[in-house]
């Protein structure tokens, strides 16, 4: 869903969603580097299983 947000609004929305004082855990799916780079943990689903793999995800965005 974050990939469909107007690019002019995205930075402010991300500031709210990723604020340290937020009382929630955020799980986001995105192809947008601006969203991915805000996340502390990264992963992907492989054969129906979630696999945490920060380096591989970030490298694929370059």
pLDDT along the chain (62 residues), means of 10: 88 94 90 88 86 62 48
What pLDDT, on a 0 to 100 scale, did the predictor assign at position 8?
A: 93
What pLDDT, on a 0 to 100 scale, did the predictor assign at position 22?
A: 92
What does 1-62 look like in DSSP terms, one character per residue? -GGGS-TTTHHHHHHHHT-TT-SS------S-HHHHTT-S--EEEETTEEEE-HHHHHHHT-
Domain layout of the chain by residue ranges: 2-60
Q: What is the pTM of this model?
A: 0.64
């Amino acid at each position: 869903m974050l990939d469909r947000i107007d690019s002019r609004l995205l930075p402010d929305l991300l500031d709210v969603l990723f604020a340290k004082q937020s009382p929630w855990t955020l799980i986001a799916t995105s192809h947008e580097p601006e969203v991915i780079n805000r996340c502390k943990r990264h992963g992907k689903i492989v054969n129906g299983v979630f696999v945490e793999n920060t380096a591989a995800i970030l490298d694929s965005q370059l």
